[in-house]
Chains A and B, each alone.
Chain A
């Protein structure tokens, strides 16, 4: 007992997991209820939720259809405006706005970007997409503003509002679509509503945050001047919070664009997202890349202009904007008859063909290399992680087959190494090594469920105590009882692999960026770029080279999720207070000693937050990656969408959100603990 009491919580948790694992192994042969969650213990939750929702939907459908019908008008109007307005005018107006917000560089960006859209031949499709964005964003902004104000005005409602916003942002994007599809019926309105709902939370959050951050004395000055509550809000607090609120507008715009593109999978609206999907399915990659680039261009232009308007008060000469606009009006009128319709531009067709032929040449030439990269990663990395060495090691890949004897030797060696490490005093590390070895031997998707419950529960206990453990176990139980256990493990596996790689590679890149300004100058624009690209577009390049499958999905997830890890690592490392560094230097520490002993520990909480973001990003992308062949919960959600199975869509979406939530809470707990330890 005294020995147990001397162990750190981490060591105790790890040893408990080993004990449960060993017990499961001992029972393995006799108890066939161990590996997967027993069917007898599941409930037809999908069915219930589906039926319940159908009932509710039947009730509210008439009202909803009315809204839908009403929304058709603004949508058709904006759509008509954007597509029927002569393109020189649209271009001119955008450039004029860009000039006003950001001067010459912004105007150049806008004209080059829209010029590219024009010559790509995707003008009409692009405008269709923008029309959806421009109708959904005002809805999202109003909704978000109201929610943000509500949260600010009612301290009692605030925790509930925040929890709901959290949920809305963790529920995978696809999961929104199924119920909306059933409610609104096929058509662009679904995309519109989905993107309004999806874009409202960032607006709400930033509004609430901005209002809370208004200096207390500024608010009090409003009160003392005798302003009514409404006057205080409208004349003092909202304007004083405008910078933060504009950041919300920027984020809402980006979220709306992202969602509109994703909603294209429903089809029925001749937009640019649909174009990407279609060409991708036809393996028409040059064309698909072109369409994808159009999306990226839109994203960049919208993001940069709105971000500039949010963060910089500087505005440029409005007269020049009017001149630009005037010139474009003249151009539009003068060349009315001469100009070809925007859809007829196909200046890039040769380029597309060149890309296509180049690509096929490349894949023909380098196909063997690409395949071998992919196969090696699959056979020696992903597959063992998924189904374990015991099943993945086969004669035709590894050259031999795995025998029970090998398992004994493997565990023996792992145990000895673990013991060795433990004897040097690092008991937690030693035990963790043994656990990892066990996971690799068994495979994540084949872990006995008691081990998963105990393992995740123990981690939660170390991170946040009993309260978190209870929450986590209840949430896991929900997944299991819903009958989604195996799928959840599959999601966990793919996400885990991606996050692991992101953590290592992203951490290293962050470190590199922290020590070398040159490296950061290169990495930073790439990060900016990756964060602006809507999720969907990540699929194109990986498909081009690695076809459909888990490996492509993995790459897409990594490409998207690695960014926060890089950013936060660097940020944490470079923001170490100067006095600490000076103290280290004056104690004679070398650069690397300073990094290891001072910067890294100080940055740990920030890096953990980066890891947390990376995990959330990975889950978000996982669902999108279902489009190119993954097997977990993402696939279920996608299937649900295809078959309009609202119960499955909701429950699988909830399961996905639960996984993300569990990871979030556990990592946050560790970050919090580190922060406390540092006295921050």
Chain B
């Protein structure tokens, strides 16, 4: 396998005085990370990220989800090294970010990384175009080129015509588009987005999500996307990491999260989502030697549970599932489909 775009291993972020030494002590005293964390918490420190490990593949859209205060922003800040992690390692394209010199870090940020902030973080003294062109200015591009590229990205996010407005003159949704445009100006490979759509009302949010997917399908960047909204996560993600009180409790595809939640916390999240719409057949697929299968309702591997169930409502025996090249990929029990769809209805 090729090197992952981002790989995080054993990452800790502890806020408070003398955090490094005290984390080491706590880890020495306790066997597990959660114990060490509660030990730290008792002595007045804040373990905002605890022993987090995950990998993001190139071109993958990786979503971090969790309630307010669960440490999502802190995690992304560690990965982009806006805060100095207390322990652990962060690698981007195999390069150890935490060992990078200040000079190298500046280089990386200029050329490789882009970030959209939860509260926009727009420069109040610059116009929209100047805001968007700022990363290009840091790259030393000429004034004319900056303006050209800025207008290009501004148009991409649908803000053309407002390029000479100041941030204070924009609505929340427009500000967020400026933030997105700015983070895209230098065309980074890796894109961090911290709850880019939370400050918006549902209609605009849906519209921006769709636009976002459209932009992404053209750009194909490695993305770490933060949200606390499960339907947003399910809609966008290739994989989701669920955070709780600083810990990653589960990492998986949307279907895995919905169908096999590891605990009540995760289950609680997906309680209100219609599972059949998000989970695909492969999540309940059996691939061992098939038993006797009298019926074939022509199920395909890329069907959602809901669609599949609709096709075999009156069947009780296992049925085959075909992949897109017409080969049999495995079989499912219709009763499994119904059960998977009804886990939380009770």
Contacts and interface: CB of A to CB of B under 8 A. Distances in A.
Interface string B156-187: 00000000000000000000000100110010
B110 A225 contact: yes
Contacts of A228: 106
A239 B131 CA distance: 13
A242 B126 CA distance: 12
A445 to B, nearest CB: 48
22 contacts: A217-B121, A218-B123, A220-B115, A221-B115, A221-B134, A222-B123, A222-B134, A224-B114, A225-B109, A225-B110, A225-B134, A225-B135, A225-B186, A226-B106, A226-B108, A226-B110, A227-B106, A227-B138, A231-B138, A239-B125, A240-B123, A240-B125
A221 B110 contact: no
Nearest to A227: B138
Interface in B46-85: 77, 80, 82
A310 to B, nearest CB: 14
B118 interface: yes
B286 interface: no
Contacts of B77: 220
B122 A218 contact: yes
B218 interface: no
A231 B119 CA distance: 22
B123 A224 contact: no
A215 interface: yes
A413 interface: no
Nearest to A214: B124
Most buried by A among B118, B123, B126: B123
A220 B137 CA distance: 16
B107 A226 contact: yes
B117 interface: yes
A225 B138 contact: yes
Given A225-B134, A226-B111, A226-B135, 13 more contacts: A215-B121, A217-B119, A220-B117, A221-B121, A221-B123, A222-B123, A224-B82, A224-B114, A225-B135, A235-B134, A235-B137, A236-B123, A239-B123
Given A215-B119, A217-B117, A223 B124 contact: no
Interface string A204-242: 000000000001011011111111100100011001101
A419 B295 CA distance: 101
A222 B182 CA distance: 11
A223 B118 CA distance: 15
Contacts of A236: 123
A224 B109 contact: yes
Interface in B77-135: 77, 80, 82, 106-111, 113-115, 117-126, 134-135
B187 to A, nearest CB: 13
A217 B106 contact: no
Most buried by B among A218, A222, A231: A218
B139 interface: yes
B117 A221 contact: yes
B119 A224 contact: no
Contacts of B119: 215, 217
B123 A217 contact: no
A336 to B, nearest CB: 44
B138 A221 contact: no
A211 to B, nearest CB: 14
Contacts of B137: 235
B130 to A, nearest CB: 10
A242 B82 CA distance: 24
**In the A-B complex, the 4 residue pairs with the closest CB atoms:** A217-B121, A226-B110, A226-B109, A221-B121
A221 B182 contact: yes
A296 B82 CA distance: 50
A223 B82 CA distance: 8
Interface residues of A, number: 18
What class of interface size applies to chain B in its complex with A? 20 to 34
A231 B137 CA distance: 10
B105 to A, nearest CB: 8
A155 to B, nearest CB: 12
Contacts of A231: 138
Nearest to B139: A226
Most buried by B among A217, A222, A240: A217
Contacts of A222: 123, 134
Nearest to A226: B110
Nearest to B131: A221
Nearest to A237: B123
A225 B183 CA distance: 8
A220 B124 CA distance: 14
Contacts of A215: 119, 121
A220 B113 CA distance: 13
Interface in A67-122: none
A224 B122 contact: no
Contacts of B110: 225-226
A489 B80 CA distance: 60
A343 to B, nearest CB: 44
A218 B122 CA distance: 6
B11 to A, nearest CB: 19
Contacts of A242: 125
Nearest to B117: A217
B312 to A, nearest CB: 51
Nearest to A220: B82
Most buried by B among A225, A228, A240: A225
Contacts of A225: 109-110, 134-135, 138, 182, 186
Contacts of A240: 123-125
Interface in B134-156: 134-135, 137-139
Nearest to B134: A225
Contacts of B183: 224
B205 to A, nearest CB: 20
A239 B123 CA distance: 9
A217 B107 contact: no
Nearest to B82: A220
Contact of B118 (A217, A218, A235, A239): A217
Contacts of B114: 224
Most buried by B among A220, A226, A231: A226
Contacts of B186: 225
A221 B122 contact: yes
Interface in A220-275: 220-228, 231, 235-236, 239-240, 242
Contacts of B134: 221-222, 225, 235
A225 B117 CA distance: 12
Nearest to B125: A239
Contacts of B107: 226
Contacts of A224: 80, 82, 109, 113-115, 183
A78 to B, nearest CB: 30
Nearest to B105: A226
Nearest to A223: B82
Interface string A537-573: 0000000000000000000000000000000000000
Nearest to A217: B121
A217 B135 CA distance: 15
